[in-house]
């Protein structure tokens, strides 16, 4: 059988079946089409302006590496006039971050972009390894997500840059849509689908130029351009809702490859239908600390493996409580109308500065400081106390023993 020719240029031999639509195309056409699609995303959403300084949130993984490569290419091809640089966050996860940071450093040389690396250790006094040692393997994604979000903003601020681009791809966005449907979190669904998120709590704009790019195509692009990237998923990452959504999406992609894009489309429409008051629920609207950023291979979230079970428990107990309640009915129309009339006057969040660190926050104390508080309060004073014979020392030791047992169980 003669080799299939590319359906696009009709000359070269097709070597790629596009995951997105199963078209058979050649290498050159694939690279060009992929870049053009990202270009269209950028231009139709007016992401950049000429002369803008843009920081690429770089983790050394495939998404951010491809993002950096494509942006460099497009910047030169279409004269965006962007001043690009790489911004990396060192979470302090040994065996995961050490190697990927090396990759980012090589990328900086390859793409001739300045690089800024910011560590959790220097920012917060806690590396992720230390956080995990303290709180265990469950629930640490919350810390990582909140810290990273701020770290990117702080890094950008340090460089005097107002726009950070991240490597979120179509699979990530689709996952977020499904995950938040499962979690019943419409405000996050809404935020996760928009290409630009102006975080309510800082003046730094974030965007995802790869929002419509399939993860599989990103891998293909990286492969065919022989990009230098690092492949390991974060070693700390059991997460129920995102995991469940991810499995679903992988299955959907097998059935109908376009599903990923279709979910993104659904998410975009649904985001516009989210009732306003819901987005202010629990005072958690678009604060900078609230939305997680990419870079963390498998868990951009803030939840632990037991989250699904915990929510189930919560819902069940709500229901139990509901059945014990006596419903008191108010006259039907009056309160509803008042609610509707009051709609324009939704409580908006006022931006203030965190009392502790001065970072912009919608609360008196920003989320990162709240988490840090909890961590610092329980920080065992191991090195100092462990060898001491006095009462205090032994009680510290006992507490540590208890902790060990807890972690083991």
Partner 1 sequence: MPSIEMTSPCMECKNEESILTIRRRALCSNCFQRFVAYKVIRRIEHYKPTINNNPIPQILLPLSLGVSSSVLLHIIDSVTQVRRRKPNTNKAYDLHVLVVDPTSLSPSDRTYETNFLAAKTNFPSATTFTKIPFHSIFEYAPDMKQIMLEYAGPGFVDDASRSNEERLTAFRSTITSATSRKDLDSVLLTRLVVAYAKHIACEAILWGDSDSRLAAKTLAGAAKGRGASLTWQVSDGMSPWGVRFEFPLRDLSKPELLQYAGISELLEGVIIPEEPISDNILTKNLSIDDLMMRYVVTQGEKYRGVMANVSRTANKLEPAKGVDDQFCSLCGALTGNVKGNDAGLTVASQFGNSQGSFCYGCIRSRPEVIP
Residues making contact with partner 1 (CB under 8 A): 21-23, 44-45, 177-178, 181-186, 193-195, 212, 244, 248, 251-252, 254-259, 261-275, 278, 308-309, 311-312, 314-316, 319-320
- Cross-strand partners of 13: 5
Extract the annotated binding site. Answer: 57-59, 63, 89, 167, 172
Smallest separation, CB 194 to partner 1 (Å)? 8
Compare residues 134 and 180 and give the one whose CB is closer to partner 1: 180
Smallest separation, CB 245 to partner 1 (Å)? 10
Compare residues 328 and 406 and give the one whose CB is closer to partner 1: 328
In 294-364 the beta strands, taken as DSSP E runs, fall at 352-353, 360-361
Cβ neighbors of 29 (< 8 A, separation 6 or more) are 6, 8, 9, 12
Smallest separation, CB 306 to partner 1 (Å)? 12
Residue 329 per-residue DSSP state? P
What's the Rg (C-alpha) of the chain?
24
Please name the helix (run of DSSP H) or strand (run of DSSP E) that holds residue 118, with its range, or none.
strand 115-119
3-class secondary structure, 399 = helix
Smallest separation, CB 11 to partner 1 (Å)? 22
3-class secondary structure, 369 = helix
Extract the annotated binding site for ATP. Answer: 57-59, 63, 89, 167, 172
Asked if 215 contacts 170 with a C-beta cutoff of 8 angstroms, the reply is: yes
Compare residues 273 and 345 and give the one whose CB is closer to partner 1: 273
Closest CA to 74 of 101, 111, 104: 111
Smallest separation, CB 127 to partner 1 (Å)? 34
Closest CA to 89 of 392, 368, 404, 409: 368
Compare residues 29 and 263 and give the one whose CB is closer to partner 1: 263
Smallest separation, CB 223 to partner 1 (Å)? 23
**How many beta carbons lie within 10 A of that of residue 289, not counting itself?**
28
> In angstroms, rounded to a whole number, what is the distance separating the alpha carbons of residues 174 and 17?
22
Please name the helix (run of DSSP H) or strand (run of DSSP E) that holds residue 240, with its range, or none.
helix 240-255
Smallest separation, CB 309 to partner 1 (Å)? 7
Q: Which two tokens stand for residue 123?
A: 């920012």
> In angstroms, rounded to a whole number, what is the distance separating the alpha carbons of residues 128 and 92?
5
The backbone region for 139, taken as left when phi is positive above 0, alpha when psi lies in -120 to 50, beta otherwise, is left
Compare residues 161 and 178 and give the one whose CB is closer to partner 1: 178
> In angstroms, rounded to a whole number, what is the distance separating the alpha carbons of residues 266 and 178?
10
If you write DSSP's letter for every residue of 64-105 in order, what string do you get?
A: HHHHHHHHHHHHHHTT---EEEEEEEE---TTTHHHHHHHHH
Compare residues 30 and 120 and give the one whose CB is closer to partner 1: 30
Smallest separation, CB 246 to partner 1 (Å)? 13
């Amino acid at each position: 059988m003669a080799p299939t020719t590319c359906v696009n240029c009709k000359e070269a031999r097709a070597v790629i079946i596009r995951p997105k639509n199963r078209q058979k195309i050649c290498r050159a056409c694939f690279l060009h089409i992929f870049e053009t699609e990202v270009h269209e995303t950028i231009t139709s959403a007016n992401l950049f302006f000429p002369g803008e300084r843009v920081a690429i949130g770089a983790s050394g993984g495939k998404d951010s590496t491809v993002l950096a490569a494509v942006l460099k290419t497009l910047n030169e091809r279409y004269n965006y006039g962007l001043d690009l640089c790489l911004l990396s966050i060192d979470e302090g996860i040994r065996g995961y971050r050490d190697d990927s940071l090396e990759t980012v450093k090589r990328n900086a040389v390859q793409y001739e972009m300045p690089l800024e690396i910011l560590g959790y250790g220097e920012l917060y006094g806690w590396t992720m390894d230390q956080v995990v040692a303290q709180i265990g393997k469950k629930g640490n994604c919350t810390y990582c997500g909140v810290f990273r979000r701020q770290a990117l903003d702080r890094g950008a601020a340090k460089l005097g840059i107002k726009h950070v681009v991240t490597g979120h791809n179509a699979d990530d966005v689709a996952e977020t849509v499904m995950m938040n449907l499962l979690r019943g979190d419409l405000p996050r669904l809404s935020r996760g689908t928009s290409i630009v998120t102006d975080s309510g709590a800082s003046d730094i704009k974030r965007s995802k130029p790869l929002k419509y790019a399939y993860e599989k195509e990103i891998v293909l692009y990286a492969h065919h351009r022989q990009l230098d990237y690092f492949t390991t998923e974060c070693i700390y990452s059991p997460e129920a809702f995102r995991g469940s959504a991810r499995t679903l999406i992988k299955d959907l992609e097998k059935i109908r490859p376009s599903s990923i894009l279709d979910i993104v489309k659904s998410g975009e429409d649904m985001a516009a239908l989210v009732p306003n008051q819901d987005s202010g629920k629990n005072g958690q609207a678009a604060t900078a600390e609230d939305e997680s950023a990419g870079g963390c291979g498998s868990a951009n979230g803030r939840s632990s493996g037991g989250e699904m079970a915990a929510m189930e428990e919560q819902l069940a107990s709500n229901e139990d409580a509901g059945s014990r309640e006596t419903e008191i009915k108010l006259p039907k129309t009056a309160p509803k109308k008042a609610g509707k009339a009051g709609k324009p006057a939704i409580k908006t969040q006022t931006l203030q500065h965190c009392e502790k660190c001065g970072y912009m926050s919608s609360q008196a104390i920003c989320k990162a400081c709240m988490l840090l508080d909890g961590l610092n309060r329980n920080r065992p004073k191991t090195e100092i106390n462990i060898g001491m014979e006095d009462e205090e020392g032994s009680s510290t030791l006992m507490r540590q023993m208890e902790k060990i047992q807890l972690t083991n169980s």
